[in-house]
Amino acid sequence: MNTETTTKSPEAASVPPPGAASAPKRAARGHRRLLTRRDRFTLALMAGVPTVLHVALVWATALASIALAFTTWDGIGFGSIKWVGLQNFHQLFADNPQFWPAVQHNVIWFVVLILIPTPFGLFLAVQLDKNIRFSRVYQTAFFLPVVISMACIGFVWQLVYNPDTGLINSLIGANKPGHYIDWIGDPKLNLWAVLVAASWRHTGYMMILYLAGLKGIDPSLREASALDGANEWQTFKHVIFPTLRPTNTVVLVVTIIESLRAFDLVFVFNKGAQGTELLSILVTNNIIGESSRIGYGSAIAVVLLVISLVVIIPYLVATFRKERRS
């Protein structure tokens, strides 16, 4: 595939003089004209093999999810696939007691991540960007949770939340029978308990992204604003934060996607039972649970897909438009 490259206008044929700062576009065209048949074949393989693998495992399955969402299938042979139209969706929206709570929890997950650990990560980044001593030590402490697997984080926080042996209950004396605060089991508490752990991790992630953004800011901007007599807060508000716009976009997209992907932590905690339902957990339960309802599971996946695409498409369009311009 992809060998079908159309030859373009002849002006591209002129090989730019050596050493001249030629536009990359033109140089690339110069390249192409020199390609032999064999080169074209190599190139086709180089792009083709990875593309086939990626498309087959990621995009074909995503499309298959959409198709299967309109069917019922017991998974045994293709013969048992039956077209049922919107039935799965109807059942999902109207009858499934877990669906709407799951949607709500995904939304809460996002709102909490964007309102608490994200600004806090930005705050830490601003403090650590001040050229202070031990900056790396602090950075490492905040960033460590990001390096550890979510599953492991789940285990670690269980030790904190455990009703009779956990840190919190032991400290506040709620670890005697009858006085338990069941952080993991109580449906009113467990989502918030998991979110503390998720925020713990997210803060470090956001801090690193913002630190990178801050490092990219021209120091003369700060100098100019200091000369104008702006104080620290004014400089941040009117100069630094507006220039962090590209980072903010990335942070927003990362946070939305992280909240849609949230899974490992909750699964290790309580398998998404009572109070911590998430869309990702509902999809997975349809696969590894006892009842394998493929069409139904796919319908939930499609909901997840649609929500993700609402975020992914505008983001990519903006990113690629910018790239094309440069």
The footprint of another protein on residues 24-43 (CB under 8 A) is 24-25, 27-32, 34-36, 38-39, 42-43
Please pick, from the candidates 51, 104, 231, 274, the single residue that binds another protein as defined by CB under 8 A.
Answer: 51
Is residue 320 a contact point for another protein (CB under 8 A)?
Answer: yes
CA distances from 131 to 127, 136, 234 (A): 9, 10, 20
Among 7, 14, 47, 90, binds another protein (CB under 8 A): 47
Q: Which of these ranges, 87-95, 110-118, 236-244, 249-257, lies near another protein under the rule CB under 8 A?
A: 249-257
Q: Give me the DSSP letters along 88-106.
A: HHHHHHHT-TTHHHHHHHH
Cβ proximity of 116 and 206 under 8 Å: no
Restricted to residues 77-116, the positions that interact with another protein (CB under 8 A) are none
Task: Identify which of residues 2 and 14 has a Cβ nearer to another protein in the complex.
Answer: 2
Q: 118, 202 in Cβ contact below 8 A?
A: yes
Question: Which tokens go with 8?
Answer: 């373009």
Q: Are 217 and 240 in contact (CB under 8 A)?
A: yes
Least Å distance between CB 150 and another protein? 6
SS3 57: helix
Closest distance to another protein from the beta carbon of 283 (Å): 4
Q: How many residues bind another protein (CB under 8 A)?
A: 124
Residue 274 C-beta: closest distance to another protein, Å: 19
- Taking CB under 8 A as the binding criterion, the range among 88-96, 97-105, 111-119, 134-142 that sits at the site for another protein is 134-142
**Quick check: 300 and 98 in contact, CB under 8 A?**
no
14 binds another protein (CB under 8 A): no
- Name the residue nearer to another protein (CB basis): 93 or 143: 143
Q: Which is nearer to another protein, 18 or 97 (CB)?
A: 18
Which CB atom, from 189 or from 253, has the smaller least distance to another protein? 253
Query: What's the burial of 280, exposed, middle or buried (CB within 10 Å: 0-12/13-18/19+)?
Result: buried
Residue 284 lies near another protein (rule: CB under 8 A): yes
| Dist. CA 54–CA 52, nearest whole Å | 6
Residue choice 165, 231, 234, 274 for contact with another protein (CB under 8 A)? 165
Longest dimension (CA), the chain: 85
What is the crossing angle of helices 190-215 and 245-261, to 10°? 150
104: Cβ contacts below 8 Å, ≥ 6 apart: none
Pick the piece of the chain touching another protein (CB under 8 A) from 60-68, 88-96, 108-116, 183-191.
60-68
- Rounded to the nearest whole angstrom, what is the least distance from the CB of residue 186 to another protein in the complex? 19
Using rule CB under 8 A, residue 243 touches another protein: no
> Of all helices (H) and strands (E), which one includes residue 279?
helix 279-288
Site membership for another protein, residue 137 (CB under 8 A): yes
Instruction: List residues bridging with 83 in a β-sheet.
Output: 71
